[in-house]
Amino acid sequence: MRTKLYFFCFTALIFFVMSCSQPADRVVKSSDGVEISYTVQGKGTPALVFVHGWSCDKTYWREQVPEFSKKYKVVTIDLGGHGKSGLNRDNFTIESFGDDIVNVVNDLKLENVILIGHSMGGMVIIDAATKLPGKVEALIGIDTYEQLVDTTNAPEMLEQLMGPFYADFENSTRAFVKSMFPATADSVLVETIASDMSSAPKEVAMQSFTSMFDYGTTKIEGKLKMLDIPIRAVSTDFWPTDVEGNRKYAKSFDVKIMKGYGHFLMLENPEMFNRLLGETVDEIIANK
């Protein structure tokens, strides 16, 4: 009887500790009234605000939150139409996602922030930074700033890219996701991400895709001119990063490369990624 009691108490204690260690979801309304879900864990300045990519959500930072919340206040966000956030938005655009970040930062009354964005999130944090003057210390793009400004895209290219997604969103997204991993990637992780992203709301995904193309070709250069903060990146060698080209638009640009990994490097090798991201954050703070 006593053994069973000890076991029950021990199990309850473990459950309690695990529950306390998980950040609770909070909600704030964005500029258009859409409810935005976010989490906060840890203390410390600057706050690190993590922003997910296209058709992902805040759980994609699950390997970073426990590590970085030891030293910093860590915020993760579900952009509108993603994860636990609301779907009641007329058009899901980079600008509306930027507003989502602004409202979370203001809800938390954060004054010193480093914005960290993966993939599409790299554009979103640029937009958000222009709307948070004096509050954003730096931007860190995660496998997204290969070319800060790409002038080679044309409207007909967008039509070619989007056609298969309109015709068969689930299978086209699965194929698209799998193409962003090297052959050596963990097949279970690849399948998990492909299944998750291909189940995203199609309307949200397609509107976001269109907005990414428009923002990247017509707006991002002007937005970058509004910013005078460090812009860094942690990327892979899956696609080459044009460092010198990027410095035409952001003189402070620099990148740390993870060789041999794909687009979801923060999940493919969390230990290496966390080390490189931590070094990047430390360098930004040291050079402040």
pLDDT digits (tens, 9 = 90+) for 38-81: 999 999 999 999 999 999 999 999 999 999 999 999 999 999 99
Of 132, 152, 129, nearest to 141 (Cα)? 129
| pLDDT for position 154 | 65
Average pLDDT over residues 229-244: 96
| Close Cβ partners of 170 (under 8 Å, ≥ 6 residues apart) | 198, 199
| pLDDT for position 166 | 93
The pLDDT mean for the chain works out to 92
pLDDT over 60 (residue 120):
yes
- The tens digit of pLDDT for each residue in 215-227 reads 988 899 999 999 9
| pLDDT for position 3 | 46
Q: How confident is the model at residue 24 (pLDDT cuts 50, 70, 90)?
A: confident
CATH numbers and ranges of domains, the chain: 24-148+219-286 (3.40.50.1820)
Checking phi first, is residue 76 left (phi over 0); if not, alpha (psi -120 to 50) or beta?
beta
| pLDDT for position 192 | 98
Cα distance between residue 149 and residue 158, in whole Å: 16
pTM of the model: 0.91
pLDDT over 90 (residue 145):
yes
pLDDT over 80 (residue 6):
no
Tell me the chain's radius of gyration from C-alpha atoms: 19
